Amino acid sequence: MTDQAAAAPLTAGVESGRTGRSWRARLVVPAAVVLIYLLLAAFGEALAPYSATDFNTGPPLNAPSWAHLFGTDGFGRDVFSRVLVGTRTILLLSIAATLFGVGVGGGIGLVSGYRGGMLDEILMRLVDILLALPGLLLAILILTSLGPSSLNLVVSIAIVFVPKSARIARSAILPLRGHGYVEAARLRGASTTMIVFRELLPNVLPELIVEFCLRFAYALLLISSLGFLGFGVQPPTPDWGLMISEARNYVSIAPWAVLFPALAIGILVVAVNALADALASTGERRAEQYL
């Protein structure tokens, strides 16, 4: 049994080489793109040729040239530098919001699903109420009542994510609830926290990771949308959504100022979605192998 298990990857490579390669490509390509974004977030500021907030680094609304790779915006700021520096802002904000939202939502869902009964009923009805409100509107509502700041942005997006993550986590944990190892843990006197987070969490982690990636992509879109609408990151911080919003008046004469931040958002969102997809199907492959 064990020998076979150990030999499995080797034979799998030979037998299903073609499907194996395409499957790996589906995981590696989006992961590489996301990794590049992460590197840019870390070192973008150092690479940027100009300061992201300096006015008049060149003539305003200048087309892309060697001096200004992505051109300049209406204030003569370097679009390339702003896109680079903006990477960090949006990645930090969306990662924080997703971690916070999926963490809290997942926790609520796990406990609610495991405990069941009245607690589950109450929590899930509250979740339903939150789910009934459109995400962007809810975020705007929270932001306007809290006032715009980075922290409030994170909090409002996290609140938008809580109900959906709770649902996912709950449905992942429900079928595991009656398993023998859970009952064995109850019989040895383990607490609910212990059972949920040490016995059950490892078994639903793959689902939660996929959920994290999906929510992360949503967070990027939400932050950009909020920035565009003026509720998000406040000027002069370079933010892709805000950049698009500021440059949209000159879109006919200086399309680059809109195009490059939009591309930056688009590519990242597609890559993160593809990564989530690949991770989900990896999970399924795993599950099939162990059957």
Partner 1 sequence: MALLEVADLAVDYSSARGTVQAVRDVTFELERDEVLGIVGESGSGKSTLAHAILGYRLKGTSRLQGRVTFDGVSLLDCPPAVLRRTWGRRMAIVHQNPLASLTPTMRVGEQIAETLRQHRGATHVDSRSAVAACLRSVGLPEGSDIARRYPHQLSGGQRQRITIAIALSLEPDLMILDEPTTNLDATTEAVILDLLGEIKARTHTAMVYISHNLGVIARVATRVAVMYAGEFVEYGRVDDIFRSPAHPYTRALLACRPRAGQTKRDASLQWIGGEIRVRQERAVECIFRDRCPAKTDPCAVAPGWSDMASGHSVRCWNASVSAQIAPASGPATDLQPTDDIVLDASQIRKTFGRRSNSVRAVNDVSMRVRRGAIVGLVGESGSGKSTLLRCIAGLEVADGGKTAYLGADIPASLAARDREILKTMQMVFQDPESTLNPSLTIGTTLRRHLKSFRPVDSSEADRRIERALEQVRLGPQYQHRLPRELSGGEKQRIAIARAFLSAPELVLCDEPLSSLDVSVQSAICQLLLDLQRDSHASYVFVSHDLSIVRYMADRITVMYLGEVIEEGSAQSFDQPPVHPYTEALFSATQLPDPAAKSQRVRLVGQISEADKYGLGCIFNSRCHRRKGPECADAFPPWQELPERRYRCHWSAPELRGLQEGGIGATPVAPYADR
Nearer to partner 1, 7 or 39 (CB): 7
**DSSP E strand stretches across the chain:** none
Nearer to partner 1, 61 or 205 (CB): 205
Angle at 164 between CA 162 and CA 168, to 5 degrees: 115
In the range 142-181, which residues lie near partner 1 by CB under 8 A? 179-181
**Near partner 1 by CB under 8 A: residue from 73, 78, 199, 211:** 199
Q: Which tokens belong to 150?
A: 């980075």
- Minimum distance from CB of 30 to partner 1 (Å)? 23
Nearer to partner 1, 65 or 289 (CB): 289
For 285, other C-beta atoms within 10 Å of its C-beta total 13
**The one-letter amino acid at 200:** L
Question: From CA 264, how far away is CA 267, in angstroms rounded?
Answer: 6
- Minimum distance from CB of 16 to partner 1 (Å)? 7
Nearer to partner 1, 8 or 146 (CB): 8
**Near partner 1 by CB under 8 A: residue from 129, 145, 189, 252:** 189
DSSP 8-state assignment for residue 236? T
Identify which of 10, 5, 32 has the alpha carbon closest to the alpha carbon of residue 20.
Answer: 10
In the range 237-256, which residues lie near partner 1 by CB under 8 A? none
Is the Cα dihedral 140, 145, 147, 152 positive or negative? negative
Number of residues that bind partner 1 (CB under 8 A): 30
**248 burial type by CB count under 10 A (0-12 exposed, 13-18 middle, 19+ buried):** exposed
In the range 5-34, which residues lie near partner 1 by CB under 8 A? 5, 7-8, 11-12, 14-16
Nearer to partner 1, 7 or 32 (CB): 7
**Near partner 1 by CB under 8 A: residue from 133, 183, 193, 270:** 183
**Near partner 1 by CB under 8 A: residue from 149, 193, 249, 289:** 289
In the range 202-231, which residues lie near partner 1 by CB under 8 A? 202-203, 205
**244 contacts: CB under 8 Å, gap ≥ 6:** 224, 228, 258, 261, 262
Binding mask 97-136 for partner 1 (x = CB under 8 A): ----------------------------------------
For 79, other C-beta atoms within 10 Å of its C-beta total 29
Q: Which tokens belong to 236?
A: 């002069």
**Residue 80, CB half-sphere, CA atoms under 13 Å: how many?**
17
- Minimum distance from CB of 195 to partner 1 (Å)? 10
**DSSP E strand stretches across 119-256:** none
Query: Which residue bears the tokens 């994170």?
Result: 154
- Minimum distance from CB of 199 to partner 1 (Å)? 6
Stretch that binds partner 1, among 28-36, 121-129, 135-143, 184-192 (CB under 8 A): 184-192
Binding residues for partner 1, rule: CB under 8 A, are 1-2, 4-5, 7-8, 11-12, 14-16, 179-181, 183-190, 199, 202-203, 205, 285, 288-290
